[in-house]
Structure 1
Amino acid sequence: MKKVSDIKIIYTPKIKHSKLPEIFSAHEAHLLFRKSWDIGKLYLVEQFKAMYLNSNGKVLGIYEISSGGLTYTQVDTRLIFLGAIKCCATSIILAHNHPSGNREPSDSDLRITRRLKEAGRLLEINIWDHLIITPEGYTSMRVSKIIR
């Protein structure tokens, strides 16, 4: 008989739930993302990250999905939701940077966000916001009512 690999799904938080930061606004999410960003890459290459939250709005962690070129980075839907499922997140805040300094979402940014919101609906994981971060500030697609 042929052998198959065991698959184990384990999540071991390193911080007590009572000590996890809470997110109440896009601004708070922006500040937490900025702390996790390599400032040299903020100005150089596009990166895409996901912040995972539990049902109480506490941050379970931030995961770098991809790091790409000057104007584009690959976004894999499966990787985003793999992280969410593994840490039992109920919502996600997405963020990527624009090294150009342009805070407006591109057509590609809007398509990706719609695709991720639809995938989240199927998995019952809410995409709470998508931030575009630049060296001088950020745009929240939720606050700007680009996404709902």
Structure 2
Amino acid sequence: MEVAEIKVSYSNNNVERIKVTNSQILYNLVVKQWDLDLIEFQEEVKIVLLNRANIVLGIYEMSKGGTSGTVVDIKIILGIALKCNASNIVITHNHPSGALEPSEPDKLITKKLKEACRILDLNLLDHLIITRQGYYSFSDNCIL
């Protein structure tokens, strides 16, 4: 009987060292990762992975969904963060409707992810909802 081999790798070829100190820097960074023609069409989730000094290690494109939702799998988020040796993470997603207020499911997944991160000694620094016009920061609004 054969068992599948599991490989874990880490590589940081990030030439530009971007330090995140506030939500505006995060927004400016992640909005560049979206196709602005699709930002009002299809919901997507991306994870920003940072080291302990809040230097960006990279951005992981987690999921693409439909016009009103997409999958946010906490196990995948945590697995990616651990594989990248991240200490801090930020979850970002767009609202195709253009609404910047978080929905109840947005609040629930943030709460669950924060608790899961705490158990693994990771920090969930923020959850950004982005649109073409701006962003909403859970951290800035004291609901993280």
Deviations 1:74-97, CA, capped at 9 Å, x for gaps: 111111111101110001011100
Match of 2:116 among 112, 119, 130: 119
Q: TM-score, normalised by structure 1?
A: 0.94
Q: Which runs of 4+ in 1 moved over 6 A?
A: none
Q: How far, CA to CA, are the matches of 2:126 and 2:92 in structure 1?
A: 8
Q: CA contact under 8 A between 2:46 and 2:61: conserved in structure 1?
A: yes
Deviations 1:33-86, CA, capped at 9 Å, x for gaps: 011111122110111110000001100000111110111111111111111011
Per the TM alignment, residue 135 of structure 1 is displaced from its structure 2 partner at its CA by: 1.4
| Larger helix proportion of the pair | 1
Identity among equivalent pairs (%): 41
Q: How far, CA to CA, are the matches of 1:3 and 1:105 in structure 2?
A: 47
Indicate the SS of the match to 1:7: coil
Indicate the SS of the match to 1:115: helix
Partner of 2:39: 42
Q: What pairs with 1:62-141 in structure 2 (closer than 5 Å)?
A: 62-141=59-138
Deviations 1:10-34, CA, capped at 9 Å, x for gaps: 1111225xx3211110000000001
Partner of 1:4: 3
Q: CA contact under 8 A between 2:14 and 2:58: conserved in structure 1?
A: no
Q: Which range moves more in the overlay, 74-83 or 7-16?
A: 7-16
Quote the RMSD (CA, aligned, Å): 1.0
Indicate the SS of the match to 2:37: helix
Q: Which range moves more in the overlay, 26-35 or 3-12?
A: 3-12
Indicate the SS of the match to 1:132: strand
Query: Which letter does structure 1 place at the counterpart of 2:81?
Result: A
Q: How far, CA to CA, are the matches of 1:91 and 1:54 in structure 2?
A: 6
Q: How far, CA to CA, are the matches of 2:26 and 2:125 in structure 1?
A: 11
Per the TM alignment, residue 5 of structure 1 is displaced from its structure 2 partner at its CA by: 2.1
Q: TM-score, normalised by structure 2?
A: 0.96
Q: How far, CA to CA, are the matches of 1:79 and 1:5 in structure 2?
A: 19
